[in-house]
Amino acid sequence: MRWRGNRSSENVEDRRGDQPPSMGVGGGGALRLLPMLIKFLGVKGTLVLAVVVGGYGLMTGNLGTILSVLTGQPMPQQSAPQSVQQTAQEQELAEFISVILADTEDTWGQIFTASGRQYKEPRLVLFRNAVKSACGTAQSAVGPFYCPADQQIYIDLGFYTELSQRFKAPGDFAQAYVLAHEVGHHIQTLLGISAKVHEAKRGVDKARANQLSVRQELQADCLAGVWANKAHHERKMLEPGDLEEGLRAASAIGDDTLQKQSRGYVTPDSFTHGSSAQRVKWFKRGFEKGNMAACDTFQQPI
């Protein structure tokens, strides 16, 4: 990607120098990659997008856990972190993520303004090992995630090593896609979509609740594609091969792919983020159409 020289976001909070919080409080993971990775999207999903991108799956967040705290109060700001010890590679990755976040701010700010709305920018929290959010305490294994209760995105940069090595989805655009997916969940929160999904899941069986989660996750993939469209056509940030990197990442964290890897068989009724084919389809749809109207996964066949 052509990102060097672009502005960095002012909405990045670096907690990598903080002492890891106690894990006594419940967690919530996001995009569950690790189970996304165990779950990449762990809280994600809301705590979704990551290390068995949440429980299982990149960007497979525990939407139910996250949405259950939508009415919670934001966490107070923490004191300044200790100085961060990082390699040159980590420093460059932190700079890259900050630039991508700034680009999503520009994109969504313009889109919201054009529709008569005001875009409230999310904060990005960098952490190591474990972190406290308004959605609970989460370990790095949950992968990147978005917490709607404090409207913040949480990422342990070590996740990107998992994405590249374990999930065979290397590349800077693959990394950008992960962040853009989490920003997609922020868009859903601002538009009231997350709250509606949370309400719709009340009183329905597990299979139906999972279907709603899948549609929400696929919409976040589509919104990530909308951002990529603007970054490519308006700012010429994408280089040859970048789109393929993003599609590879989307495929790598599909529920079916993750389930096959973790247990050798697939149970579609348990999907919470969508199959590899579905995630690729909706990311591509957002990229090709370049507008939010194309991302109504709740009214269209998925």
Asked whether residue 300 is assigned to any structural domain, the reply reads no
Asked whether residue 6 is assigned to any structural domain, the reply reads no
Which backbone phi and psi does 30 adopt, to 5 degrees?
Answer: -120, -150
Asked whether residue 301 is assigned to any structural domain, the reply reads no
Instruction: Measure the CA–CA gap between 141 and 216, rounded to whole angstroms.
Output: 22
For residue 68, the enclosing domain spans 12-73+84-295
Give this prediction's pTM. 0.79
Asked whether residue 140 is assigned to any structural domain, the reply reads yes
Q: What is the pLDDT of residues 259-302, one digit of tens each?
A: 887 888 888 888 889 999 999 999 999 999 999 999 999 998 89
Strand partners, 40: 32
How many folded domains does the chain comprise?
A: 1
Question: Residue 270: its pLDDT value, please?
Answer: 86
Asked whether residue 96 is assigned to any structural domain, the reply reads yes
Asked whether residue 184 is assigned to any structural domain, the reply reads yes
Asked whether residue 302 is assigned to any structural domain, the reply reads no
Where helices occur in 166-253 by DSSP H, the ranges are: 172-190, 193-200, 206-233, 242-252
Higher pLDDT, 84 or 9: 9
Higher pLDDT, 3 or 301: 3
Question: Residue 295: its pLDDT value, please?
Answer: 97
CB within 8 A of 158, min separation 6: which ones?
128, 140
Asked whether residue 3 is assigned to any structural domain, the reply reads no
Q: What is the pLDDT of residues 102-132, one digit of tens each?
A: 999 999 999 999 999 999 999 999 999 999 9
Going by DSSP bridges, is the β-strand pair 12-14/123-126 parallel, antiparallel, or unpaired? parallel
